[in-house]
Structure formats: C-alpha cells, structure tokens
Structure 1
Amino acid sequence: MTFPANWQTRRARFSFSRRDVRGADAPLASATKDGVSLRSDLDFAVWNPDSNVSNYKLVEPDDFVIGLRSFQHGISHSAVRGVVSPAYTVLRSAGDLDPRFFKHYFRSSLLISHLANITQGIRQGQAIDIEAFQNLPMPVPPLEEQRRIADFLDAETARIDQISQLRERQRRLLEARRWSHFQAELDRAQADAIPLRRVIRSVIDGPFGSAFSSDDYVDEGAAVVRLGNIGFAEYKGGDQARIPTTLFERFRYHEVGAGDVLIAGLGDSRNHAGRACVAPDLGAAIVKGKCFRARVEKDVADADFIALLLSSPVGASAIEGRGSTRSMINLEIVKSALLPIPPLARQRQLVSEHRKSWLHTKATMSACDRQLATLAERRQALITAAVTGQFDVSTASGRGVTE
C-alpha cells in the first residue's frame, strides 16, 4: 500500500521496543479484542488465585500487547497497569509516536492481514512470529498528523460504539422478552414442580473426552453432537462434526435419534449448563462428552417443551438449585432438577404459543444482528482508511467512507 508522500515508513523494530519486566506487584491483566483489561473486570471462570505469577510480564498504560489471538483481532492497547502471561509480548512505542494513533492502526484490516501472514503453528497453537513482526513496515505520519487522526478516530469510533451498544442492549431486551413471555404463560399453567426423572425414560452422557479427538473428524460419517450444537431450544448444525462409521459403531450406546432431548453439561456466562434442544434427524449420530441425551416418556412429556423449559431461566434456576454451578452439571443434577411440568396438552400449547411469539422476536433480533455487523464493518473501514492516509481527517467527517 502507498502512504501519503509526507509520511515515513519504518520497520516495527525501530518504532517499538520489547519490554520484559517480571515480578512486578500489579493485578492480573489479559489481552482481549477490546484491549488490555484487568482480569477483575473480565468474566474469567477459571483462574487459580494461588498460581505463581512471579514470571508474568508488566504492562503499563499505552503499552501494546501481542497476545495469543492477535493474528485474528490485532494488537491490544493497554489503558491499565497489570501483569500479563509470559506467553505475551509487551511493546513500548518510541518517543516520536502517539500511542493513540497506533492503538487504531494495530486494529486496522491492513495490520491484521500482515499478522495473518506471519503466524506460526496450526489450529490452537498458532502464534505470531515476533521476529517477523519486527520487520513489518509501519506508516509513521508526522506527529501532529498522528494526533489529528487519533482525535478523529477516538471521536468517530466512540460514536459508532455508542450506537452498537444501544443495538446490543435492544437485542438483550428482546431475548429477555422471549423468556418473560414464556415464564408468564408457564405461571398461568400452575403446574407442580416435580423431578425431571419422572418424565424421562432414559438419560446418558457422551463417551469420555479422550475416547476420540478432533483428529478423528471426517467430512462424511456419523454426526457428533457437541456443546456448540446445543442452543437455547434450537439445534445449531452449522458446525457439524463427524466421525467414521467404524468409530460410531464403537459408541452406539451414546446414540442420538430424532426427537431426543440434547442437554449441555457445560456452560459459561452467556450459556447456562442445562440448556437443551431437540435433535433433528441427523442420521447416525452420538453425543460427545459433557453432552447428555434424554428420551422423554411420550405419554406425559413433550420433548420440545422439556427443551424449552431447560433452556429458560426457570430451567437454569432449577439446575442451580440442585447445588450445581452455571458452568458444569452431571446426570444426577439433570435427573433431580425440580421443574414445573403441566399436563401434556398444556405443554404442547405452550410450545405452540412460544413458537409464534419467538418467530417475531427472532426476526427483530436478526435485524439487530445485521445492523451490528454493518456498524462493525464501517468501524473497521473507517479506521483503515484513516490510518493509511486514504482521506484527510481534518476535513473528513467519516461519513461516506466505504471498504
């Protein structure tokens, strides 16, 4: 790419120095797609506070961090003082650079494309080649122009982010409305809470995790139901794993049939353990470890209702009420969960009413998703155009910038 004539081009090693200060007394931090944040401000479900962090690297405000996923989302700017994993690389900019300009440049599509070309390893082991990074050419506008671009982008991206936050809030409210409507109808049914085991014929979990791995997956073969396939009363088949039929035959005990209830044994901050959906016709299929397959007693329970109930806040509360956490459950917790289960005819009526309501709500949520995607694309295009000198920010409003 050609930059404006009054801009310099300088290799990264001459603009950024590597910092390696260890053993500092500072809180834990981590590099995310939104920048470097303190762990206390993030939702970290797994961390042992007694872990030895004496080897962790100090990062300070206006430092930059190359993390494990930087080749996907760019290099993270820090606004905090903390210590980060020794696997990270910490950078400090030279004195003639405005860190705010590079905060944006390091998230531009241009830089991310460069990073994608200098990664090492495969799959989860991918990492940026730091020596190759140091040889990357970086645009260096005059300092005053760096500041103008940074001021412009700070203001424009903040405006876009504010609109995005409003759309995300709208989406959350729509999601909440989905369940509040279901809760209201369920309350009107006035059903007694009973253990789930009284309406299911059988429930099993998947084979132990080491029974097979992703290396065993093939393009054609028996389907493997994984956690990512189990949505909130919805089967997500977009990333359908498969194993050879010969391997499937070894694990037929864990077989899944159309109409079975699939229950997630693991959860996180957004997806509670115990959420469920009904299996479509997958042909030959099994559940993987930490996924459960349940079959209902068809004369007293409707599979779609059970999946809906377990996916709702009512189901989440019932699962937690059995002494579990939102992150992990076992078969006994599932079977002993106390849930309000009305007569079969009323179950089917509730499912039908929910589907009609959810279709409308889901369409509105999809519109929000499209708007969020457009805003993200515009934000990225705006950043890339500004930090590469494609327009003069002193006169540009940012409106009308396209990819």
Structure 2
Amino acid sequence: MRNKELLFEAQTLSTDGSEELLSVSHLTGVGPRSEKNVTMTKAESLDGYRVVEQGDLVINTMWAWMGALGVARHAGIVSPAYGVYRPRPSAPFEPRFFDYLYRSTEYVMEMNRVSRGIWSSRLRIYPEVFLRMAVPMPPLEEQRAIADYLDRETARIDTLIEEQQRLIEMLRERRQAVVHRSVGGLDRIACRPTNDSWWPKLPEGWAPLRLRRVIRGLADGPHFSPNYVDEGVMFLSARNIRVDGWSLDDAKFVSEEDYLEFSKRVVPEPGDVLYTKGGTTGIARVVDLDFPFQVWVHVAVLKVRRDLVDPHFLAYALNSPPCYEQSQLFTRGATNNDLGLTRMVNIVLPVPPLEQQRQIIATLDQQTAKIDTLITESRQFIELARERRSAVITAAVTGQIDVREAA
C-alpha cells in the first residue's frame, strides 16, 4: 500500500494561533512544546500555523532525514513548514503502530533516500514524494498487538537506560566532589582564611587568582559557520569536549585553506586548555591531540602561563564545582548561551605552588580514571540498549517478530 491510500495531507490553518504549540523531535516525536527543552526562538505570531488533530502524522520537512516526525498524541498547531497527514476515515490506522513504524530506523532511512537536497543536512521530503512511498499495512488487530508488544519492550529498555543515566549522574557528582576536595585543598589540615567568597579557606602558600592572571592569552574560533568538508582538518565545537574525554565521533572538518585562515586568529597546541563558551559552557580539557585542528566560536583556547600553573591542574580547577558555578553566572543569553572571553577571565581559582599542583594532578588522575571507566561502561551500555531498542522496533513493524509468541 502507498501512504496516499492511508493518509491525506491536512492543510487546515489556525485563524488566531490560540491552539497549543507542538514540537517535533527526532528523540521524542510529537508533543507539546511546553514539555520539551526547545532552544529555538518562538515566533511572535502563530496565525496561519497548521492545525494538528490527535492521531495525525506530523513531519518536520527539513529534518525528516534524521527522524523528526511522529504521530501526534495531542491536538495543537505546528509550523506551516511542517507536513501534517491525517488518516483516511476508512483506513485501518492504529496510531501507536504507525508512530513506531514511521520513526523506525528502516523507514527513516527510506525517507532519507527519497528526500531531495544538495547537502545531506538540507534534505527535504515533499508531500507528493512521501505520499508515493510504500507502507506496510497489517490488519488492525495485528497493528494493536505489535504496538502493545513494543510498548512493553521499549518501556523495559527505557527503564534500563534511565537507570544507567542516573548512575552516570551519580558518578559525575562523585567525580566533582573528588576534584573539589583536592584542588580546593579541603583534604589538607592547615588552611587559612582568604578574602575570596568562592575559596574562603586555602592551605598556606595557595592563592585565589583570577583566570586572567594564569594565562598569557586566549581566543575563540571564527564567529560564523564555515563550509564543512568530508575530509580535511578537524573542527571542534563545544559538543566535542567533555570533562572525562573527547567526543570526536561527530566532529566536523574544514578545508586546509580555512584552517590556515582560522589559524591567523589562534592555533590550538598541545598543553593549551580548551574551555567551552557557547552551548554547554564551562567545560575545560587539556589539549593532548597529536594532530592539527581548529575550533569554532563556542570554544576558547587558553594559552597557559606554565610558570604559575600546570595546564592539567588548570583544567581540573576550572571543572571544579566553584569554578563551574562561576562560569554559569558569567554565561549570558536565554537561548544562545555565551560565556564571553572578557567575563571568563574573572573566574577565580585556587593556585598552589607548582610542585603541589603536580602532586594533586597525579592523585586526581588515578582517582578520576576509575570513575571515568565506569562512566564509559555505562555510556556503552546505553548505546547498545538504544541499538537494541531500534532493532526491536524495526523487526516488529516489518513482521520479523511474531509478537503472539513473544507475548
């Protein structure tokens, strides 16, 4: 069967925009925008937005290739740029089954194949193309049985994922506590009062200094989105930098020419500290990559005064709770977070003598390595669970699982 035999394009528009605004996500499907963490600015007027009824299929035309679609469980309105498809009155349509089907990996891949656009990130699926696509059509009772089975199985997997996510959060809190105790001298007996509210007591010989005092320079990357290429020089953004390691699987690349042009502004080198200043702000990591790369505007490159501070100690200090809290207070913007260069340099951190810094680094490297290993194992479990979830959905909606036997 073709989608056009099951659905028709609904084109009713809101007259006053008073209906509930819905959001379409590749992670959570279709639901009220008010219940989701949406960072994009809301339009001033919602007049002319498309009306959505409960049970309609909603497709984000520009992001369908990554699975931004789903069957609406709430009535409301969506952007006029979205596609809204309503079940034909006589069609056997179980909303839960088709929500699983249309969002399955296999069907999203097929939509990706038939979408049109010059760049992969700009692909669009148009109504006439979507309506010509084939769609499986099991009997209504079987649709319900498959949906019931998938509700149970996905709920079980989601519970396991949530448990691992809570474990990761607990491990991160444990890591922060360990780092705070060491870089703040809280594990030392003799401390003296300071005049700083962030570090009110520090060991003898330690000083609370602003970040500007321990660096010889800082700069961020280009303040625009460059032209990305499939092969070239790695181009890092805030999402590629984590406290416990690099996240380079989705790193982008720029041409050699752009790399040289951006290098006129700053050249990241081993021993520098990268500090996130856009999106997720306040995360520091020492550069230990053995290949050239560049950074976007959301990353600051700190050139460290090594006569005062070891780069690894600086990263630990910046990632400690008091410094992270300062970074959040210095972050501006309701939707586009920005930890400006002129503000971040006012973050106060404790600075021990260099020899004590190195001792602290050695201790923390050993302690955090154990925690980071557990975090990595939990992340791998979550990744495998999500792959299992996707495989179960695809197998069920394509008839590869007899849900009556599996029940």
TM-score w.r.t. the length of structure 1 is 0.85
Would you say 1:55 and 2:48 are equivalent positions? yes
Shift in Å, 1:134: 0.6
Structure 1: which 5+ residue stretches go unaligned? Answer: 1-9, 398-403
Q: Alpha-carbon deviation of 1:332?
A: 0.9
Give the deviation of 1:247 after TM superposition.
5.7
Q: Which residue of 2 aligns with 1:193?
A: 208
Question: 1:21 aligned to 2:9?
Answer: no
Shift of 1:145: 1.7
SS of the equivalent of 2:85 reads strand
Q: How does 1:4-403 map to 2 (within 5 A)?
A: 10-23=1-14, 24-33=17-26, 34-48=28-42, 51-67=44-60, 68-73=62-67, 75-95=69-89, 96-121=92-117, 122-187=119-184, 188=186, 190-191=201-202, 192-209=207-224, 213-215=226-228, 217=229, 219-220=231-232, 224-232=235-243, 234-238=245-249, 239=251, 241-244=253-256, 248=260, 251-267=263-279, 271=280, 273-280=281-288, 282=290, 285-322=293-330, 324=332, 327-397=337-407
Match of 1:7 in 2: none
- How far does the alpha carbon of each residue in 1:6-37 deviate from its partner, in whole angstroms, 9 at most, with x for none? xxxx2101101211222241232211122112
Corresponding residue SS for 2:135:
strand
Query: Matches of 1:341 and 1:381 in 2, distance apart?
Result: 51
SS of structure 2 residue aligned to 1:133: helix
Tell me which stretches of 4 or more aligned residues in structure 1 moved more than 4 Å.
235-238, 281-286
Mapped partners of 2:346, 2:212: distance in 1: 6
Residue type of the partner of 2:106?
Answer: L
SS in 1 for 2:380: helix
Partners of 1:143 and 1:137 lie apart in 2 by: 17
CA drift of 1:316 comes to 2.0
After TM superposition, give the deviation of residue 88 of structure 1 in Å.
Answer: 1.0
Amino acid at match of 2:149: F
Percent identity over the alignment is 28
**Shift of residue 288, structure 1, vs aligned partner:** 3.4
In 2: Cα distance, 1:166 partner to 1:44 partner: 24
Instruction: Give, in whole Å, the separation in 2 of the partners of 1:383 and 1:209.
Output: 39
State the secondary structure of the residue aligned to 1:137. Answer: coil
Q: Identify if the C-alpha distance between structure 1 residues 31 and 314 changes in structure 2 by more than 3 Å, giving closer, same or farther.
A: same
Contact kept? 2:9, 2:127, Cα under 8 Å: no
- Give the direction of change, closer, same or farther, for the CA distance of 1:306–1:154 in structure 2 (3 Å limit): same
Q: How many pairs does the alignment contain?
A: 379
User: In structure 1, how many angstroms separate the alpha carbons of the residues matched to 2:373 and 2:259?
Assistant: 40
CA distance in 2, matches of 1:323, 1:249: 28
* Structure 1 residues 293-324: Cα deviation after superposition (integer angstroms, max 9, x where no partner): 22222121111121222234332211233464
**SS state of the match for residue 117, structure 1?**
helix
Letter in 2 for 1:231: R
Q: Residues 231, 58 of structure 1: CA spacing in aligned structure 2 closer, same or farther, 3 A cutoff? A: same
Secondary structure of 2:367's counterpart equals: helix
Alignment-mate amino acid for residue 42 of structure 1: K
Secondary structure class of the residue paired with 1:201: strand
Instruction: Quote the offset at 1:209 in angstroms.
Output: 2.4
Q: Per-residue deviation at 1:286?
A: 4.5
What does the per-residue CA deviation read over 1:17-65, in whole Å, with 9 as the maximum and x for residues that have no partner? 21122224123221112211222212223424x6222122222322221
Distance 1:240 1:46 in 2: 22
